[in-house]
Amino acid sequence: MPDVIIDTVVASNIERNLYLTTELIDLNPRMVVALNMYDELQASGAKLDYKKLGGMIGVPMIPTVAKNKKGLDILLDTVIDIFENRNKIARHIHIYYGTVSEPEITTLNEMIRRSNDVPQQFPARYWAIKLLEHDKEIETLLSHCSDYNKWKKFAGKAAERIEHQTNEDIETVISDAKYGFIEGALKETYTEGTIDSNKKTRYIDGLVTNKWLGFPIFILLMWIMFMATFYLGAYPQEWIELGVEKLSDFISGNMP
């Protein structure tokens, strides 16, 4: 695992982009969040108490605008502080996965921790969560462990119990808990803006993805491109033919 991870988040769409951050939190890395395109968040009229948010989730957050290189010096200084254990915000927290899932995660976590041959690059709790989700890559990584079959059997039964009690599949239960964690943190730190800076983009997206208009618009654009290829392509074709003709005349006139 890297010494320090820089998790780049698009600030103007923070709720959706923080989902990856929750995935990283489960890995327990040393990490800083770069809130990129922060100028767009401000332009929309939104307000984010990023210092409070960072304190709540145990990850320092630095506003940046990469295109203007704003905030990059502070970001790099923060990376150094985290690496040298000087940052007071950086700490590990556990995302709470609910009263149904947590006991199962805790039990599986303890089972994995007691193993002598489990890979050490990730924490046991992370392995436990991924086994509950039936993550194939994680199952492959752990398959060489002496207690793997016991863990997989427990994870399968635990996932069934969770799904039975929640009436949701295990992946949905875990992802809903992550989004709940994000929503709860943003509720105390984020206020949406009143200015829709992406109104034009959203309008265009709405047109081209419309159930009834999307396909005709696609056909129209393809027809325009097709016709443009012939009409606009005719001009350079004439120039090329004229050039070849003049070159031929020149060569013919200068040959002995």
133-143, pLDDT tens digit by residue? 999 999 999 99
pLDDT tens column, 70-109: 999 999 999 999 999 999 999 999 999 999 999 999 999 9
* Per-residue pLDDT at 37 exceeds 70: yes
More confident residue, 209 or 50: 50
DSSP 67: G
- B/e letters for 139-165, b = 16+ CB within 10 Å, e = fewer, are bebbeebebbeebbebbeebbeebbee
Question: Residue 233's pLDDT is what?
Answer: 74
Q: Are 109 and 125 in contact (CB under 8 A)?
A: yes
Question: Residue 55's pLDDT is what?
Answer: 94
Q: Are 1 and 121 in contact (CB under 8 A)?
A: yes
Question: Residue 256's pLDDT is what?
Answer: 61
Question: Residue 51's pLDDT is what?
Answer: 95
Question: Residue 213's pLDDT is what?
Answer: 82
pLDDT band, residue 196 (cuts 50/70/90): low
* Per-residue pLDDT at 197 exceeds 60: no
CATH (one of 3.90.1150.170, 3.40.50.300, 3.10.20.740, 3.40.50.880) for 5-93: 3.40.50.300
Strands (E), the chain: 5-10, 31-36, 47-48, 61-63, 190-191
Joined tokens for residue 39 = 């100028």
Joined tokens for residue 242 = 């004229």
* Per-residue pLDDT at 198 exceeds 70: no
| Cα(101)–Cα(129) distance, integer angstroms | 9
Backbone angles phi, psi at 216, to 5 degrees: -60, -40
* Per-residue pLDDT at 201 exceeds 60: yes
Average pLDDT, the chain: 89
Length reported for the chain: 256
Where do we find the tokens 């200084």? 77
| Side chain identity at residue 197, one-letter code | S
User: Residue ranges per domain, the chain?
Assistant: 5-93, 101-166, 201-254
Section 197-202 average pLDDT = 64
Cβ atoms within 10 Å of 224's Cβ, excluding its own = 10
Q: Which of 100-104, 167-171, 179-183, 212-216 has the lowest mean pLDDT?
A: 212-216
Section 236-241 average pLDDT = 78
